[in-house]
Structure 1
């Protein structure tokens, strides 16, 4: 069995994971930003060493697909040279930081994220690999509904606050002490048995007194601007399209990745392509669908073609999952289809793998149920 076949953890560039179409190599752009040259280099690397397909994840990371085992090390060296991967595998594993994608140079989000990046070695060694940090300190909060275990957010009163995921309120944090507070909360999490729970939201130990508070985070908004924002169907972009976007950007500009599978460009770029969504009301932006069969060995059903057929018929959010692992989204959706033994289980207002309203539907039955046949 290949050393790359593992389950129950998140891959990165140092530890890729074998999928149905080859190795999955995850790149975590610092501050969720690619310079123009990094975007162009990443596109070339994806086409040269993979199958040219790049997926954006719910943590604003990018996954290169179809990489061969023999070509992985060459790809890793290229990513290191582009400063898209940390030189140490342990450092890279800890660098799970989701930052408000509209940060500006020197603002609170940028400052706090930089402080935390400089102190990754201060995090506890026993912190589970899927645990992450959220820095959402802009004037207009964006990430309230995005998963992340230890969070710095803007409160509804305009102050900075520390909040543990799964808790509805947080406490005020001193200016300049945000990284200290995040690191201290991570150490408390490990010391109080949080590693067994795996995630902060599942850890029911009472918070230490210093981390408790009654502040509420401000309401989140979704950024979208004509000419500078493009949605990616199912979060996927191919290397050729990414290369075209990079070429169209000014030399000193770049692009931002987001957890909503929307690319934010730092300069206006007018481009028409079937792989870019320009309408904020496009039904595909309300759809989550994993790669499915045959790209994923865990999936027993095709997902994305079916999701594309169903999207115009949905009033709420649709989630089509190739199996019960729920990789595309952990949140409940208005309509959820879960693959099981080559057929689809249908559930409403549920997560993937929930008890179905209707079970073992074939593709035709699913399409007929929603009037999409």
Structure 2
């Protein structure tokens, strides 16, 4: 990887302040070849082959992140790994360590797979075999520089866990053991089905979609494809198909057979201190494997049920939760002040205050986004958002971090504001009403007025 990935870094640069650092245009994915400038240095995002790492590989990556970055490893909402706090001269050292550990990072676009692929007895079909076919037969098209850097392709083999809530430009879903459905532009509910057939036919259908994207122009996304063009390329459109019912990945023990189990763990806010991760990995046998999963979590496979139960008991001591109902899972927080120079406040400290004093907000009906600055790195979608600034905190009920806030809270008033939010989402809730429904009923103007009151 050192040779190929680093050689792929071009002369393209992003200006940050009065200097330039290696990188792609804004909005591109931060890779080893093109790390992204952030407030705490350079950031690299990795998706290892199959979303899987051995215990030794995960440890090697954590050691390298500690040596060459600021020691923070993150798992993103799409189940990718991020290394933070790198410098221009240390990215190559990280790449060399990744090579030495035998970690393979396929070229973009990343292809996301069901997290228990190849291991799940309930799996309808193996998505890793389909991915190999895609990369073999569509190699030139997938390598086209005209494809969008963030083009999202996922292959869902069903089974215990599905990828229904993940949006993708191209989603390929196993219908049964011989047929795959190809759909575009959305989640399982919103994507447009285009084709259903055997694996070879489905690969060809994906190739046609890639052709349309390349022909449309540089960095086009599937949602931009014209209906008439699609109807010409897919002359026999299909309607919704029935697929096996699966749950989304979540923390906790998953029984795979009488002898085998997997354990899902979620780092708090998706962030891991490398030193804590290294210590935790010492509790795992070399035969175990780490499988990255959506919603900022990972699964440990190759366990017995007794081993999974033992790890569940000790995981909390390393900042890892096996509780599917952990309230912290409803908070998206960036690294924040102390870890990122762009952060205006300590996001983790504020998150702890919300968990303690406003648990009613964390019923799973909404996401609380704690952003140290207006860039909103941790959560690009609308949410209940608290954004740090030089003036204090910007509050928004259902907006992105970069949007104009509904109210501004002075820095010293944040504790009181949290208590007022808790009251709004508590005593004023109607019977059976969720926190999200309650806040929506009250409205942004009413909430903003309440937060401004002394």
Please report the TM-score for the alignment, with normalisation by the length of structure 1: 0.85
1:181 Cα offset (Å): 2.4
1:132 Cα offset (Å): 1.8
Higher relative contact order (CA 8 A, sep 6+): 1
Please give the alpha-carbon distance, in whole angstroms, between the structure 2 residues aligned to 1:52 and 1:60.
19
Stretch of structure 1 that moved more, 148-157 or 172-181? 148-157
CA 305–184 in structure 1, closer or farther in 2 if over 3 Å, else same? farther
1:368 to 403, 408, 419: 419
Please give the alpha-carbon distance, in whole angstroms, between the structure 2 residues aligned to 1:336 and 1:131.
27
1:289 to 333, 336, 339: 333
Stretch of structure 1 that moved more, 222-231 or 52-61? 222-231
CA 234–254 in structure 1, closer or farther in 2 if over 3 Å, else same? same
1:76 Cα offset (Å): 1.0
**Are 2:201 and 1:174 equivalent residues in the alignment?**
no
Number of aligned positions between the proteins = 364
* Contact 2:180/2:199 (8 A) holds in 1: no
* Contact 2:195/2:205 (8 A) holds in 1: no
Q: 1:222 is matched with which residue?
A: 248
Please give the alpha-carbon distance, in whole angstroms, between the structure 1 residues aligned to 2:215 and 2:342.
34
CA 235–254 in structure 1, closer or farther in 2 if over 3 Å, else same? same
Cα displacement string for residues 25-80 of structure 1 (whole angstroms, at most 9, x for unaligned residues): 22211111111221121122112222221011122111112223222212211112
CA 241–302 in structure 1, closer or farther in 2 if over 3 Å, else same? closer
**Are 2:196 and 1:189 equivalent residues in the alignment?**
no
Cα displacement string for residues 92-118 of structure 1 (whole angstroms, at most 9, x for unaligned residues): 3x1411111021169421211222243
Q: 2:226 is matched with which residue?
A: 205
CA 121–98 in structure 1, closer or farther in 2 if over 3 Å, else same? same
Q: 1:262 is matched with which residue?
A: 297
2:165 to 131, 142, 145: 145
Structure 2, unaligned runs of 5 or more: 1-18, 254-261, 424-450
* Contact 2:179/2:199 (8 A) holds in 1: no
More helix by share: 2
**Are 2:110 and 1:96 equivalent residues in the alignment?**
yes
Please give the alpha-carbon distance, in whole angstroms, between the structure 1 residues aligned to 2:269 and 2:294.
12
Please give the alpha-carbon distance, in whole angstroms, between the structure 2 residues aligned to 1:135 and 1:342.
45
CA 23–103 in structure 1, closer or farther in 2 if over 3 Å, else same? same
SS at match of 1:161: strand
Q: 2:40 is matched with which residue?
A: 21
Q: 1:250 is matched with which residue?
A: 285
Please give the alpha-carbon distance, in whole angstroms, between the structure 1 residues aligned to 2:126 and 2:382.
32
Please report the TM-score for the alignment, with normalisation by the length of structure 2: 0.71
CA 244–157 in structure 1, closer or farther in 2 if over 3 Å, else same? same
Please give the alpha-carbon distance, in whole angstroms, between the structure 1 residues aligned to 2:388 and 2:419.
17
Please give the alpha-carbon distance, in whole angstroms, between the structure 1 residues aligned to 2:208 and 2:73.
35
Please give the alpha-carbon distance, in whole angstroms, between the structure 2 residues aligned to 1:199 and 1:79.
31
* Contact 1:27/1:85 (8 A) holds in 2: no
CA 144–255 in structure 1, closer or farther in 2 if over 3 Å, else same? same
1:291 Cα offset (Å): 1.9
Please give the alpha-carbon distance, in whole angstroms, between the structure 1 residues aligned to 2:242 and 2:408.
39
The 5 Å alignment of 1:218-367 reads 218=243, 221-223=247-249, 224-226=251-253, 228-266=263-301, 267=303, 268-269=307-308, 270=311, 271-272=314-315, 273-293=317-337, 295-296=339-340, 298-311=342-355, 312-314=359-361, 315=363, 316=365, 317-333=367-383, 335-354=384-403, 356-362=405-411, 363-367=414-418
1:341 Cα offset (Å): 4.6
Please give the alpha-carbon distance, in whole angstroms, between the structure 2 residues aligned to 1:313 and 1:11.
36
Cα displacement string for residues 237-283 of structure 1 (whole angstroms, at most 9, x for unaligned residues): 12223223433333232111112112200024412315111211110
Cα displacement string for residues 301-359 of structure 1 (whole angstroms, at most 9, x for unaligned residues): 443322232133413321223344433223343x2223455433322244434454323
CA 232–70 in structure 1, closer or farther in 2 if over 3 Å, else same? same
CA 169–122 in structure 1, closer or farther in 2 if over 3 Å, else same? closer
Q: 2:126 is matched with which residue?
A: 108
CA 157–44 in structure 1, closer or farther in 2 if over 3 Å, else same? closer
* Contact 2:374/2:401 (8 A) holds in 1: yes
Please give the alpha-carbon distance, in whole angstroms, between the structure 2 residues aligned to 1:103 and 1:180.
22
